[in-house]
Amino acid sequence: MAETKSTVTAAGATAAKAGTSVQAKKSSNAVSWIAPVICLIAGVSFYVFVLGNSGNFVNGKGSNWMGKMHEGGPIVPLLITLFLIVIVFVIERLLTITKALGKGNIADFVRKVQYHLANRNVDAALQECDKQQGSVANVMKAGLRKYKEMIGNSELDTEQKVLTIQKEVEEATALELPMLEKNLVFLSTIASVATLIGLLGTVIGMIRAFSSLGEGGSGGSSAANDLAKGISEALYNTALGIGTSAVSIIMYNVFTTRIDSITYGIDESGFTLTQSFASNYK
């Protein structure tokens, strides 16, 4: 019984030593609900005070593109709001992902770490992580710390040590990836919704235009002018919707491509650590 207890205690101590050193990041995502509210206020204000300025109208009709856009109806401020939301989250994601890419080329960084590990210089590899920064460096640094710890561990065999390092990398990765993908849902959603809302505004404008045409009877040029004016107003909704959707789709694809490159670098980092340890510390 005493021997069994001793074995269990040793196993528990080993598990505690092999536990992860990765700490969860405390991050606030207040921008995800504050930004849409501010954009809504800004969009409505722009519609009312800028587009609706009296200088944009002559005899109650829009005399320039701002006045005509104002005549597009209540869908216009909503579309302006969506466009502002896209701009805000494009800037926010651009700053975040640029920071996550680090200060140098990811492939060069991984090669430098591989070189130092091949020479069994873990401290130099950690210094490379401090220089590089970014998500790949954060994951690599977490893995290297566990790597260094496992070198001096005499209680686990090589295979168990490799698995411990791999687990550390996976847990560090699980903390980094959500930060990269956060708020992209706004861009993907607006990419689909903006065009539909723009078409809704167009349909409403066309209904209003043909209604005016019907009320005007068969009155020649006046009726034709009302129809042309209504179609022009309606198409502003389409232009806003398509433009917003296009910007959102392009930037979403740009960001997902950059995230894929970071993810590939993280995967390569994990592979580098496990393979290096397995070959250097058999």
Q: Has residue 134 been placed in a domain?
A: yes
Q: What is the pLDDT of residue 94?
A: 94
Residue 90 forms part of a structural domain: no
| Domain extent at residue 213 | 104-281
3-state secondary structure the chain: CHHHHHHHHHHHHHHHHCCCCCCCCCCCCCHHHHHHHHHHHHHHHHHHHHHCCHHHEECCEECCHHHHHHCCCCHHHHHHHHHHHHHHHHHHHHHHHHHHHCCCCHHHHHHHHHHHHHCCCHHHHHHHHHHHCHHHHHHHHHHHHHHHHHHCCCCCCHHHHHHHHHHHHHHHHHHHHHHHHCCHHHHHHHHHHHHHHHHHHHHHHHHHHHHHHHHCCCCHHHHHHHHHHHHHHHHHHHHHHHHHHHHHHHHHHHHHHHHHHHHHHHHHHHHHHHHHHHHHCC
Total domain count, the chain:
1
pLDDT given at position 246:
96
Tell me if 8 is assigned to some domain: no
Domain for residue 181, yes or no? yes
Between the CA of residue 50 and those of 53, 68, 115, 146, what are the distances in Å? 5, 12, 60, 59
Task: Check residue 77 and give its pLDDT.
Answer: 94
pLDDT at residue 24, rounded to an integer: 47
pLDDT value at position 198? 92
Tell me if 135 is assigned to some domain: yes
pLDDT given at position 240: 93
Give the residue carrying structure tokens 């019907």.
214
Q: Tell me what pLDDT residue 21 has.
A: 53
Does 15 reside within a domain?
no
pTM of the model: 0.82
pLDDT 10s per residue in the chain (282 long)?
444 433 333 434 443 344 455 554 545 567 788 999 999 999 999 999 999 999 988 887 778 889 888 888 889 999 999 999 999 999 999 999 999 999 988 989 999 999 999 999 999 999 999 999 999 999 999 999 999 999 888 888 889 999 999 999 999 999 998 888 888 999 999 999 999 999 998 888 888 778 777 765 555 566 666 676 778 778 889 999 999 999 999 999 999 999 999 999 999 989 989 999 888 887
Q: Please report whether residue 178 resides in a domain.
A: yes
211 within domain boundaries: yes
